[in-house]
Amino acid sequence: MTFQKYDQKGAYHWAWADRRSRSYEPAAEARYAVVAQRLGAEHRVLDIGCGDGYLMSLAAKHGARPTGLDSDRTGLNLARRMLGEPLKRRVLRADAQSVPFAAGAFDRVLLVDVIEHLPDPASCVNSCARVLAKNGRLLVTTPKWRPGPMWDAEHHVREYRPEELASLLEGFFDHVRLSFFISKRWWEVRRTLGKGFMRAWSKFLYNPFGAEGSDPSRFCHMLAVCAEPRPR
């Protein structure tokens, strides 16, 4: 499966997250925010599937020290251009399923809407567990499975039910906690009243897609926070 979004759209994550942009997407902004708010100052962060580098920039704004890797050359070139010095030096080309860092090298590892693209997600999660420090956390976001067509049938290998995602991650971590965000109710508002309404609401009032809950039936997206990697 060839990923061509960066060739077609450029650094689109930056545009999605920018409230001044005509391409602003509140749901995408929320996806980054729920992760970034869990990053602390001086955390050594590895963003796997960093793409155009937007999440790395957000992590740096939270005081973290991000490193990004991706296999897509176009995305990496965009990341280096958008990030500039000194962060562009911390963008590397590598396979998400074989992370090339030493054991315990990072305090946080991020898989933000990446796992659904992977043909061998277990290898990636195993690599994530290996490079985490003793008290580290793996943060995973992914769209929640729904009946009918996939959210992105062109690019996604698999979309997960909550229990399926938890089972995969629990094979490598002793503690896995799921929460949910991107409200179905607000997604229906977006569909009914249009993107323009949703952008204005989120820009001038608040972004409702970032509110988290524990009832999977009410949400479209999942966040897994994984701790205590199992010894290998």
CA distance 198 to 190: 6
Q: Which two tokens stand for residue 216?
A: 């999977």
At 172, the pLDDT band (50, 70, 90 cuts) reads very high
Instruction: Give me the phi and psi of 52, to 5 degrees please.
Output: -80, 5
Q: According to the model, what pLDDT value does residue 148 have?
A: 82
At 1, the pLDDT band (50, 70, 90 cuts) reads very low
What pLDDT, in 10s, does the model give residues 74-125? Answer: 999 999 999 999 999 999 999 888 888 999 999 999 999 999 999 999 999 9
> Where do we find the tokens 């503690």?
175
Query: 48 with 19: CB under 8 angstroms?
Result: no
Taking alpha carbons only, the member of 15, 32, 16, 25 closest to residue 199 is 25
Q: According to the model, what pLDDT value does residue 3 have?
A: 60
Query: 129 with 230: CB under 8 angstroms?
Result: yes
Report the CATH number that the domain containing residue 129 is assigned in CATH: 3.40.50.150
Considering its fold, how many domains does the chain have in total?
Answer: 1
Is-above-0.85 flag for pTM?
A: yes
Count of CB atoms situated within 10 Å of the CB of 173: 22
Lowest pLDDT segment from 129-133, 148-152, 209-213: 148-152
Q: Where in the sequence is the domain holding 142, given as residue range(s)?
A: 5-229
